[in-house]
Structure 1
Amino acid sequence: MKPFHTIFYINVVLSCSVAIQASTDFVSIFDGKSLNGWTGDPRFWRVEDGAIVGQTTAKNPTKENTFLIWEGAEPADFELKVDFKISNHNSGIQYRSFPIEGKPWVVGGYQADLSADNKWTGAAYGEKYKNLLAKRGEKTVVGATEKDRQVAAQLGDGEEILSHINKDGWDTYHIIARGNQCIQMINGVITAEFSESEKDRLKNGVIALQLHAGPPMEVRFRNIMLRTLEPEAKKEILFLAGKKSHGYNAHEHKAGCHLLARSLNESGLDVIAQVTTEGTWPEPWIGYEKPDAIVMYCDGLKGHIANKHQERIQMLVDSGIGVSCLHFAVEVVPEDLGPQFLDWIGGYFEIGWSVNPHWTAEFEFFPDHPITNGVKPFSIRDEWYYHMRFQPDMENVTPILTALPPLRSLTSRSKDKDRGSNPAVMAEVEAGIPQVVAWAYDRPEGGRGFGFTGGHFHQNWKNDDFRKLVLNALVWTAQAEVPESGVNSRTPSERDMELNQDYPKPDQKTN
């Protein structure tokens, strides 16, 4: 199997035999009164109180796993929402599944797992197909066999995810299957995510509900809602995370990208995010298959991702895709990428002109722009770069975050003429001119750019307004609609903040 960071998440129109038309809205595939449109062993399935009930007893067991199969379609790319409640044992929701020849009401394929003891709830399983796909809390890439499975990232702590699940009541599974990427959520929290890297992966199939062999059990399903997806139905945001950099809790490109991508995927908006790591471009490169926006969070200068992939990025920019650069990624060698960055995002950090001190910026006022929707005034200490090189006269550039740095942010580093201070920036700060540390750019020929100079300290992503502003910007660059309240996301826990960091805590050998 190829390493995860070489996997290109491909946006393709997949051919399949379906009986339902693609819809922008969710439609019910269970009428709440009968099993019309579904087929299963009548000994085990019934409708009661507006729910599908699957039940086995000591006197009426099933010898093997049996399924209630929806006959309406074999969807490829879709979203599925199902309320569930289980009493005893194990069950699951099958998708992109296939019938097992010679065995009525038996299927194999992807399964969103659930169990009464919650041991397997939230995991992704391959029923009669590769077995475990992703444990609760894992993001994986699955290859040709069940042994060919790579954990690409941790999306959450498995036990902490359970705190969002109502063990004794109703919960809601939300499954998104798009291209080779499958995301499973319960009550709005991602529990597992996986991608299949093989060409002969499961691309479409039936939806079914499982009743597991074994001890007597009962499982209930209701409010079964399906939304099929066309390629343009969700905006695609691709994170390009750089290599290891500064050490624990600083320049944590991989951890930061996965945290932001998870927030976007949980947002309920029509966006979907993927992450590639180690400063590489997803392969294979296919020019007409492209995301709607890319995000570069990486080291700059000669180590910048864009140095190696300039031609590919330019192709995307020419086609109108959005480009965002976070923290060090706004800094380039001017003679190598300066003009390109003015074209892509409207500005960049230039050694000898721009400065990069650590200081506490106070953001009290914001422009009327979608990127600032729902963002409240906040202050936060970061390595805020300022005195950027922008388009002449700031044409098509909108300052998003501005603040007046303390003069000591320059005087304390006056000996560093490259990054610490220079006469031009000193004169501006002494004159009380606020400095731009985040900006939006509307390209004249189409497409959008965003530059954000914060993001040195990984812990800053825990600040809700800091994080919301960046999430808003990423959605805006993809030309999706930013909600009036902004892109809401749950505040990461301390355990969340430790996930996927490149370096262990100083007093620990491992994360």
Structure 2
Amino acid sequence: MSKNSRASKLVAKSLFALTLLLCFQSCKEKKQENISEATVEDQEIGDGFVSIFDGKTLTDWKGDSTYWRVENGNLVGEVTPETLLKSNTFIIWQGGQPDDFELKLEFKIAESGNSGINYRSDLIDTIPNAMKGYQADIDGKRRYTGQNYEEKKRATLAYRGEKVIINSQDNPEVEGSLRANVKSNCWQSREVVGSLGESDSLKSKIKSEDWNEVHLVIKGNRLQHYVNGVLMSDVNDEDTVNRKLKGHLGVQVHVGPPMKVEYRNIRLKNL
């Protein structure tokens, strides 16, 4: 073989090796770029959310230890045959009274369970660890999960699948007695202005006796309840007499049969 032929082969091999190296480097850079983009996206999703439950203690939470404990990193509410309730009881976050916020958490509830997340709520002086106010309803049979129910006040504001306007009150009789405007456990001065889907269809998005994520978006007089990324109820509260624009945050165990509910990954973002 001539010297020129050997030189040509050597050049060809070098060019091939360089081409492979450049292709490998390009693929590596694209992969790193994709990883960087995913990381940025994850940071953006979590931006501003702060954990308000450490998974180890009840620091910054106040409730009856008969019913509330920390177990396996979860906030557990449990009613046993020996500890049946005479009134609903809550464990209440002591870190402030949020006004405009987003809340994300996960829950798992027994089929017999009845619970809820109260927000912009008042404490009841005459009943220990009791609250009245807006509630993102949760129950084990998935009849009410996702609806907006106002504990010890106006009752049901929006059933699952409803977009609702709560009309302003200018009737002194109604202002003086909430019960005068509640019928069949539902506030009468409300107008259903849109549909988010059939209740049973939305129910299928909620897992039974498994972990579900709740996302509350509470801003001004608009109250949106999401479960597993699906909007379940949407309320515009124009009732300046009865609405609340800030208040306490807590979770509930309800009067009824023995039950267990668990919460984890509780994160708050002030708006």
Would the TM-score normalized by the shorter structure come out above 0.5? Answer: yes
Other-structure match for 1:185: 226
Other-structure match for 2:121: 97
Residue type of the alignment partner of 1:71: Q
| Kept after mapping to 1: 8 A contact 2:158/2:164 | yes
Q: What does residue range 369-384 of structure 1 map to in structure 2 within 5 Å?
A: none
Question: Structure 1 residue 212 and structure 2 residue 254: aligned?
Answer: yes
Q: TM-score, normalised by structure 2?
A: 0.74
Other-structure match for 1:62: 85
Shift of 1:100: 1.0
Shift of 1:112: 0.4
Identity %: 43
RMSD: 1.3
Residue type of the alignment partner of 1:137: G
Other-structure match for 2:158: 134
| Kept after mapping to 2: 8 A contact 1:138/1:193 | yes
Other-structure match for 2:26: none
Other-structure match for 1:86: 109
Q: What does residue range 493-504 of structure 1 map to in structure 2 within 5 Å?
A: none
Distance 1:161 1:225 in 2: 24
Distance 1:133 1:82 in 2: 22
Residue type of the alignment partner of 1:73: G
Partner deviation per Cα, 1:153-175 (whole Å, 9 max, x = no partner): 11111111122111121000100
Q: TM-score, normalised by structure 1?
A: 0.40
Q: What does residue range 326-405 of structure 1 map to in structure 2 within 5 Å?
A: none
Partner deviation per Cα, 1:385-437 (whole Å, 9 max, x = no partner): xxxxxxxxxxxxxxxxxxxxxxxxxxxxxxxxxxxxxxxxxxxxxxxxxxxxx
Other-structure match for 1:46: 69
Shift of 1:102: 1.7
Counting matched residue pairs gives 207
Q: What does residue range 232-271 of structure 1 map to in structure 2 within 5 Å?
A: none
Structure 2 regions of 5+ residues with no counterpart?
A: 1-45, 170-180, 182-186
Other-structure match for 1:399: none
Distance 2:203 2:91 in 1: 27
Shift of 1:24: 5.3
Shift of 1:209: 0.3
Partner deviation per Cα, 1:104-161 (whole Å, 9 max, x = no partner): 2000100000111111111110001100010000011123452111111111111111
| Kept after mapping to 2: 8 A contact 1:77/1:204 | yes
Matched residue SS, 1:64: coil
> 131, 152, 161: which is aligned to 2:193?
152
Other-structure match for 2:263: 221
Partner deviation per Cα, 1:466-485 (whole Å, 9 max, x = no partner): xxxxxxxxxxxxxxxxxxxx
Structure 1 segments of 4 or more deviating over 6 A?
none
Distance 1:107 1:69 in 2: 9
Residue type of the alignment partner of 1:223: N
Residue type of the alignment partner of 1:160: S
Matched residue SS, 1:159: helix
Other-structure match for 1:413: none
> 205, 219, 222: which is aligned to 1:164?
205
Residue type of the alignment partner of 2:229: G
Distance 1:24 1:72 in 2: 19
| Kept after mapping to 2: 8 A contact 1:24/1:228 | no
Matched residue SS, 1:169: coil
Other-structure match for 1:124: 148
Residue type of the alignment partner of 1:134: A
Structure 1 regions of 5+ residues with no counterpart?
A: 1-22, 230-511
Larger Rg computed on CA atoms? 2
| Kept after mapping to 2: 8 A contact 1:137/1:161 | yes
Residue type of the alignment partner of 2:222: Q
Distance 1:122 1:199 in 2: 24
Other-structure match for 2:235: 194
